[in-house]
Amino acid sequence: MRVPTESLNIFSCLAKGNPARENFLSQAFLFLVRKLLESEKKESQEFAKELLGKICNLDFFAEKNIWLTTEEKITTGRLDIKIETSSKLIYLENKVDAGFGNLQLERYKEDLDKQQKNVKKIVLITKYGVCEKLKKMVDNSWMWDQIYDHITRLKEKYRKDLPHIDLFFIDHLSNYMEEEHMTIKKVSSAFTEGIKSMLNLIEQIRFVLGEKDCKITARSAGEKFNGFYFKVSEDSSVQDWIGIFYYDNYRKPSQDQMVFELKELEIPRDAVSKCNFHIEFDKKRFSEPSLILSFEECNFFTFEKDKQLDILREFLQEGMNLIKEYRYSDK
């Protein structure tokens, strides 16, 4: 499938080689701030200084030099981000998925208290916010959604004066934060019709599975998926899965396709050329090699119900043919 160039995000592409989400988000954020600080345009520098000032609740406009580092080792641990000037020192901790280490914030404060700076702070950025107890242990705390809002507001304030390359990186970081679900979006009235359509699709899947005499063993719905576990035959020892992933294991949106996870199969690569549908071999994306039905490529949503059911029948049958030919546990 050809991916339109405009849909590619530089940070999303780089993140695929970096499984540590927290570390990469810290690095991406710091890259943007450094890029703006190093710009020849005064407005880009002011954008970065105002953003840092908002996060740290400090004034950085008079600072001639601002040093930014990630993953710096200190006497009591390793910092996500360190922000330093001639008079200021800020330890910034980024928490997305992982919890806190043993006395982590206390250890940071112990090291910070030893430093010879006029202004010293610990700032915490999280995905979902923090309890009152944690808030009292740091000087400032933010959610990434709030950082996203700060960036959006500053982009509108400085847009007409920023170089295209700086706007490019600002837009790409903002879009990457959206892809990683670091932002909270408004729910529109399309939600109601969207839920109805999704349930219609689930019923279509159920109908086609019944036509093929597949035994549904469980209705399966969770944070990132919606579908069915089933057996292709009564005597099969394996439960397969078919349905929708809202996002894959890279946390990239994938609700525009149907996934048929092919468990316990040894599929040769040359089998791809014989299939009408794409086979995804990347187990980091989905837990098993999977047959993929792209709704966009087959114009699924433009057809009436009967044609949609025909597409699902063909998709399910192709997966069943692969199972019959390549499943090792049932041989």
Tell me the per-residue pLDDT of 261-272, one tens digit each, with 9 for 90 and over: 988 888 887 777
How many CB atoms neighbour CB 262 within 10 A? 23
pLDDT bracket for residue 236 (50, 70, 90): confident
pLDDT of res. 272: 78
CA distance 152 to 148: 6
Contact 26, 37 (CB under 8 A): no
- pTM beyond 0.95: no
> Which amino acid is located at 72 in the chain?
E
pLDDT at 1 over 80: no
Structure confidence at residue 4 as a pLDDT band (50, 70, 90): very low
Q: What is the 3-state secondary structure (H, E, C) of the chain?
A: CCCCHHHCCHHHHHHCCCCCHHHHHHHHHHHHHHHHHCCCCHHHHHHHHHHHHHHHCCCCCCCCCCEEEEEEEECCEEEEEEEECCCEEEEEEEECCCCCCCCHHHHHHHHHHCCCCCEEEEEEEECCCCCHHHHCCCCEEEEHHHHHHHHHHHHHHHHHHCCHHHHHHHHHHHHHHHHCCCCCCCCCCHHHHHHHHHHHHHHHHHHHHHHCCCEEEEEEECCCEEEEEEECCCCCCCCEEEEEECECCCCCECCCEEEEECCCECCCHHHHHHCCCEEECCCCCCCCCEEEEECCCCCHHHCCHHHHHHHHHHHHHHHHHHHHHHECCCC
Q: Token pair for residue 262?
A: 């092919």
The predicted pLDDT at position 253 comes to 65
Handedness of CA 15, 21, 23, 28 (dihedral sign): positive
Please check the confidence at residue 5 and state whether its pLDDT lies above 90.
Answer: no
Mean pLDDT computed over 235-248 = 86
Residue range 141-160, pLDDT digits in tens? 999 999 999 999 999 999 99
pLDDT tens digits for 58-74?
A: 999 999 999 999 998 98
* Mean pLDDT for all residues in the chain: 89
Residues 253-304 pLDDT 10s: 677 899 999 888 888 877 777 888 998 888 777 788 899 999 999 999 999 9
Lowest pLDDT segment from 12-16, 23-27, 47-51, 325-329: 325-329
